[in-house]
Amino acid sequence: MEPTPPRRLPLRVVPLTGETLDGYLRRLARHNGTPYSPLRIMVRDHPVPAAALSGLTGLTPTNLCRALPELCTADEPVVGGEGHRPARWRSPACTHCAAARGADTTTTVFACAERAVCRKHQRWIGGPHLPCTANQQFSCAAAPALTAAATRHHRLAGIWGTPLTRDAFDDALVVFNYWRKNGILFGSTDPGLRTRRASLGWVADTYIPEPIIDACCYPGTVTLTGVILRLRARIAHGADTRTSVNNAHAEIARTVLIGARPGGAGDPLHYLTSSLLWPSPQTTSHHDEIANSATEHST
């Protein structure tokens, strides 16, 4: 016997992109003045949760699956390339997006690294390994390079796929964190970095909230992510490893550090490139994955 279709609620509530299912059900219950628990049971216990929620809201299952990753099945893949499951990390939604949908600052979404900036409202919202509370979010209007970097980050994820881009971005973050904590970035003559530091208030020898520092470094981190992805792809497709690594170092000096020099032997950049010169079996397996992901973007 098929389950009885749920009765549609009087008020339509539109979910945020990437919103958690329980968070959305709580908002739906609150706006309609109905208990949360029966709604949760009705949706969670239904053979096709998206169909049950569609009956309650009047929104199509397709649109609900695009917004709520936990509803996705193998037939309804998650938009953004995360596979058929939500991302592991959760973070506060853009407060402006939440307000536009009648939500509050407690609304959480499944976070992807390439969503560090809300491009619609030009706000820094952070993400995995870029912690930022709802109260720490700020406008990027004075630093348009952040929105441009977010667009490039999305493009990298579209080319290489979210998992490989996420891995490269994580590696780039480790390198940048070392550079900033060891004063290497303060030696850079990059005019873009200096402009962002001035616009966002990052001054040496003063306390600056971590989200401000992360945002100042974000365009360079995205650029380094692209260098890492292309370097790994060239090596995976048979290019000479040492030549590729040397070219990558030259590109990093030209486009990322700009006037500064990497640290000594403890610099993670050296570890990152040396692991390509003398790969472990795990690294070799990772290269095979890259070789199969984007052959046309290897040069």
Residue for token digits 């994580």?
170
Over residues 152-165, the pLDDT tens digits come to 999 999 999 888 99
CA distance 108 to 89: 10
**pLDDT greater than 80 at residue 173:** yes
For residues 249 and 280, the answer to whether their CB atoms sit within 8 Å is no
> Please, what sign has the CA dihedral across residues 100, 102, 106, 109?
negative
Beta bridge partners of 130: 127
Please give the pLDDT value at position 165: 92
Please give the pLDDT value at position 103: 84
Over residues 3-60, the pLDDT tens digits come to 555 688 999 899 988 899 999 999 999 999 999 999 999 998 888 899 999 999 999 9
Please give the pLDDT value at position 159: 93
Q: What is the average per-residue pLDDT within 170-196?
A: 90
Please give the pLDDT value at position 225: 96
**pLDDT greater than 60 at residue 290:** no
Please give the pLDDT value at position 82: 43
Instruction: Please state the pTM of the whole predicted model.
Output: 0.81
CA distance 237 to 202: 41
Least confident segment among 74-78, 246-250, 283-287 = 74-78
**pLDDT greater than 80 at residue 277:** no
The proportion of the chain whose per-residue pLDDT surpasses 70, expressed as a percent, equals 84
**pLDDT greater than 50 at residue 222:** yes
Over residues 64-95, the pLDDT tens digits come to 998 898 887 644 444 444 444 445 678 899 99
Please give the pLDDT value at position 273: 82
Report the candidate in 241, 250, 220 with the shortest Cα–Cα distance to residue 287.
241
Please give the pLDDT value at position 299: 43
Distances (CA, A) of 65 to 15, 69, 119, 226: 10, 6, 22, 30
Start-end of H helices in the chain: 21-32, 36-44, 49-57, 61-67, 95-100, 144-160, 162-181, 191-200, 210-236, 241-252, 268-277, 281-293
Please give the pLDDT value at position 79: 43
**pLDDT greater than 70 at residue 280:** no
The residue with greater pLDDT, 104 or 267, is 267
CB atoms within 10 A of CB 193: 23
Q: What is the average per-residue pLDDT within 205-209?
A: 80
Please give the pLDDT value at position 186: 80
Over residues 133-151, the pLDDT tens digits come to 999 999 999 999 999 999 9
Token pair listed for 16:
């945020």
Over residues 225-240, the pLDDT tens digits come to 999 999 999 988 888 8
Token pair listed for 144:
């348009």
**pLDDT greater than 90 at residue 294:** no
**pLDDT greater than 90 at residue 176:** yes
Q: What is the average per-residue pLDDT within 211-235?
A: 94
Please give the pLDDT value at position 296: 47
